[in-house]
Structure 1
Amino acid sequence: MASSLATLIVSSSFFVSFILVLQLSSFPSCRADVGTAASYSAPYLPSACYGREATEFPSSNLFAAAGDGIWDNGAACGRQYLVRCISAAQPRTCIPDQSIQIKIVDYAPTATTLVLSDKAFGSLANTSAALINIEFQQV
């Protein structure tokens, strides 16, 4: 009886561990992607998402144009992303421990993942940089 109880406990422990591993592998804690970002200056209107409707732009001026990789035939319009600078060609370009939330308001037909407004780019990196490597996650 004691050996069958021990076998049952070991089997139950294995089953619970197996379920836990399945749950953890199905729901990764980090879903961020990496890409590149450049900046663009005004005029920001008209935009591919909102035409001349400036009220659709966030008042913080933290917005971006989506590159070909995330444009998704216009479905990217209005999406919001958390973005942070992770590296650049020049050392000390990124502002350490800084992340921002941006809204997609336009389309930029480039291989660059995001083309950030001047204010958004300057919030993440030294504005003398032409291109930065970013980590981004849709929120």
Structure 2
Amino acid sequence: MGIEKSHLVITGTAIVMAYLMSVAFATPGIATFYTNYVPSACFGNQNNGVMVAAAGDALWNNGKVCGKMFSVRCTGPRNPVPHPCTNKTVTVKMVDHCPGCPSTIDLSKEAFTAIANPVAGIINIDYTQ
């Protein structure tokens, strides 16, 4: 095998391994959605766009997640809505706290809609920071 082919095989293998590791290290959780993004617990009246989320108590950690980016993927329904997932992943910025929420991550409605049918209201997810 030539040097170019060997490099291509190594690069391809590294990409596959990185993907598998990201899937293997995803954390299961629950997602809901909300619609009023400002003010937020992390950034006050600063607008951070619509691809944002609020951390449930399990993630909040006294605000240490503020500004962190999370990739979130729908893995299935939590209620009778059949097949809510879009098989897409969304990346959101953690901007708020959702104290007492039933979810791990409370996504903006736009972020939730990117990965699931909003009629579902609550879904199972896998997420990574």
Q: CA RMSD in A?
A: 1.3
Structure 1 segments, 4+ long, off by >6 Å, are none
The alignment status of 1:31 with 2:25, answered yes or no, reads yes
Whole-angstrom distance in 2 between the partners of 1:80 and 1:107: 14
2:66 to 42, 65, 77: 77
**Structure 2 unaligned blocks of 5 or more:** 1-19
- Listed as ranges, the gaps of 5+ residues in structure 1 are 1-27
Aligned match for 1:105, one of 95, 101, 109: 95
Give the percent of matched residue pairs that are identical in Structure 1 and Structure 2: 39
Aligned pair partner of 1:135 in 122, 126, 129: 126
Structure showing greater radius of gyration is 1
Say which of 44, 48, 59 aligns to 1:51.
44
Aligned length: 105
TM-score, scaled relative to structure 2 = 0.77
Deviation of residue 32 (structure 1)?
A: 0.7
